[in-house]
Amino acid sequence: MKKMKVGIIFGGQSGEHEVSLMSSTSVIKVMDKTKYDIIPIGITKEGNWKLFLGDVSKIQDGSWQEEAIPALLSPDPNYKCIITLKDGKESRYYLDVVFPVLHGPRGEDGTVQSLFEMMNIPYVSCGVTSSALCMDKVFAKQILEQNGLPVVNYKVFYKRELAVRMPEIISEIEEHLGYPCFVKPSNLGSSVGISKALDQKDLKSALLLATKYDTKVLIEKFIDAREIECSVLGNDEPRASLPGEIIPSRDFYDYKAKYLDGDKSKLLLPAPVSRKDIGRIQDYAIRAFKTLDCSGMARVDFLMSKVSGNIYINELNTIPGFTNISMYPKMWEVSGLSYKDLIDELIKFAFERLQQKNELKLT
């Protein structure tokens, strides 16, 4: 049987470049080499695309760049390939499917996905609109809320308003949400630019910090909560895994707790919650996935109040972490789907979505 040519895109320009290097190394290692021909394509922090055919172990520490060849993805739908130029010689590497193992802006937000749409090539995870909506915390919340799904109370302000009426905005937040509250740039990930504000002084600096990362700022009521996550997989009939729980090593699951404290944050797999709560979490996860028009996969993150037991949808990650200790594959593993089989499924769903799309009339 002819092997399937899978382009694994790694690196990227977001703050989660290093996380992507770890995720893609795990993905490449686990993929069945008798079925797949893997074509790894790295994106440097500067945004250059490079073909890397060397040893996988060189991805994680960045040394892959030394032997990578500058490459271009061809947007021509007749040539689903990447083109390299070395010593004046052009080479073409054809692709059957692409798996962007990229996290954060310009990777998970619909930008790179639109390039694959132009090429008419199947790609893993959500489409352009869905990826963009899930990356934008404000849009995602507004749509979930309009569809009757539970989200934490919030307010939204733009940088331009904050510049002219900060004191009024602070009073509005105090009146509607109170302290503590969470302040977040709308479009970003990995907890960058996020603060927990305990008083007026904190709130002001938190708002200013968030405007450094986005022109749209989300402020949420603080929930003293357990952090529960659930993996969703599929297209038209998505399924949900058993939920998992994260016990952060710090006050909240900030950048340090996520990436710098090593394994100090605890992962509970599956999450120790009642059968009834498992059902509620899975139901919300699937409804959120469908509401935001997701396909392929998403990790749905929840806040579960320690006081009332109420469950709120916090956010959806359309390309969640994929290291061998990451929650998305781990939650599938405890639900009976191995990491290796999970990759097969994701690729199958990428083909299925493109096929469904190509059956539609575009003009």
Ligand X SMILES: Nc1ncnc2c1ncn2[C@@H]1O[C@H](COP(=O)(O)OP(=O)(O)O)[C@@H](O)[C@H]1O
Query: What does the per-residue mask of binding to ligand X show for 243-272, with x meaning CB under 6 A?
Result: -----x---xx-------------------
Minimum distance, C-beta of residue 357 to ligand X, in the bound complex (Å): 28
CB crowding 198-224: b at 16 or more within 10 Å, else e: eeeebbbebbebbbebbebbbbbbbbe
Question: Which residue in the set 96, 214, 220, 245 belongs to the binding site for ligand X (CB under 6 A)?
Answer: 220
Minimum distance, C-beta of residue 223 to ligand X, in the bound complex (Å): 4
Nearer to ligand X, 84 or 125 (CB): 125
Are the C-beta atoms of 240 and 232 separated by less than 8 Å?
A: yes
Minimum distance, C-beta of residue 28 to ligand X, in the bound complex (Å): 25
| Residue 139 binding ligand X, by CB under 6 A | no
Question: Which residue in the set 20, 26, 295, 314 belongs to the binding site for ligand X (CB under 6 A)?
Answer: 314
In terms of Cα–Cα distance, which of 99, 96, 90, 46 is closest to 69? 90
Question: Which residue in the set 16, 136, 214, 315 belongs to the binding site for ligand X (CB under 6 A)?
Answer: 315
Strand partners, 276: none
Nearer to ligand X, 13 or 190 (CB): 190
| Residue 191 binding ligand X, by CB under 6 A | yes
Nearer to ligand X, 18 or 345 (CB): 18
In terms of Cα–Cα distance, which of 9, 14, 43 is closest to 187? 14
Nearer to ligand X, 50 or 258 (CB): 258
- Amino acid 262 reads G
Binding segment for ligand X among 1-9, 186-194, 273-281, 349-357 (CB under 6 A)? Answer: 186-194
Token code pair at residue 229 = 């996550």
**Rounded to an integer, what distance in angstroms lies between the CA atom of residue 73 and that of residue 148?**
41
| Residue 144 binding ligand X, by CB under 6 A | no
| Residue 227 binding ligand X, by CB under 6 A | yes
Long-range contacts of 24-30 (CB under 8 A, 24+ apart): 24/59, 24/101, 24/322, 25/56, 25/57, 25/59, 25/60, 25/323, 26/322, 26/323, 26/324, 26/326, 26/339, 27/99, 27/101, 27/322, 27/343, 28/56, 28/59, 29/56, 30/324, 30/339, 30/340, 30/343
Q: Which residue is closest to ligand X by CB?
A: 253
Binding segment for ligand X among 116-124, 218-226, 235-243, 351-359 (CB under 6 A)? Answer: 218-226
Minimum distance, C-beta of residue 137 to ligand X, in the bound complex (Å): 6
Contact positions vs ligand X (CB under 6 A): 152, 182, 184, 189-191, 194, 220, 222-223, 225, 227, 248, 252-253, 301, 303, 314-315
